[in-house]
Amino acid sequence: MSKKAHPALRIAAGLLLAIPFGLILWKAGGPTSRPQYPRWQAEEKNLAVAIDREAASADARLVRLLLEEKLSGREFSFATVAEACSGKKVIPLDERESHRRVKSAIESALNRAIEKLSATDSPVRSLRRINEASRFFEEALLESLDAEADLSCGVPPNRRGESQQTGYPDLRVVHHPSGDVFYLDPKLVEDGSRDSSLRSFYFEPKDETLKITDDAVHLLAGIGHDGKDGAWTFTGFELVDLSGLKVRLKAEFQASNKDLYPGGR
pLDDT per residue as tens digits for the range 147-201: 999 999 999 998 888 888 888 999 999 999 999 999 999 999 888 877 776 667 8
Closest to 170 in 3D by CA, of 186, 193, 147, 152: 186
Is residue 190 within 8 A of residue 199, CB to CB? The reply is no
* pLDDT reading at 121 higher than 80: yes
Q: Are residues 60 and 86 in the same domain?
A: no
Residues 132 and 80 in one domain: yes
Output the CA angle 113-117-122, nearest 5 degrees: 145
User: pLDDT tens digits for 145-155?
Assistant: 999 999 999 99
* Helix H or strand E segment including 134: helix 134-146
Edge-to-edge order in the sheet of strand 217-225: 151-154, 171-175, 180-190, 217-225, 234-241
Secondary element (H or E) of residue 235: strand 234-241
Is the same domain home to 48 and 154?
no
| Residue 220 included in any domain | yes
Based on the fold, state whether residues 169 and 89 are members of the same structural domain.
yes
pLDDT in tens, 235-257: 999 999 999 999 888 777 778 77
Residue 32 is predicted with a pLDDT of 52
Q: What Å distances lie between residue 114 and 26, 94, 157, 235, CA to CA? A: 66, 25, 27, 7
Whether 189 and 101 map to the same domain: the answer is: yes
Same domain for 206 and 121: yes
181 and 207 fall within a common domain: yes
Same domain, 174 and 144: yes
Q: Of 26-30, 68-72, 77-81, which one has max mean pLDDT?
A: 77-81
Q: Which of 35, 51, 69 is the last residue of a domain?
A: 69
Of 72, 130, 86, which Cα lies nearest the Cα of 218?
86
Q: What is the pLDDT of residue 254?
A: 78
Q: What is the largest CA-CA distance in the chain?
A: 107
Work out the percent of the chain whose per-residue pLDDT is above 90. 41
Number of compact structural domains in the chain: 2
Predicted confidence at residue 16, as pLDDT, reads: 47
Q: Does residue 57 fall inside a structural domain?
A: yes
Predicted local confidence at residue 111, as pLDDT:
96
Reported confidence tier of residue 2, pLDDT bands at 50, 70, 90? very low
| Residue 133 sits in the same domain as residue 35 | no
Domain assignment of residue 12, given as a range? 8-69
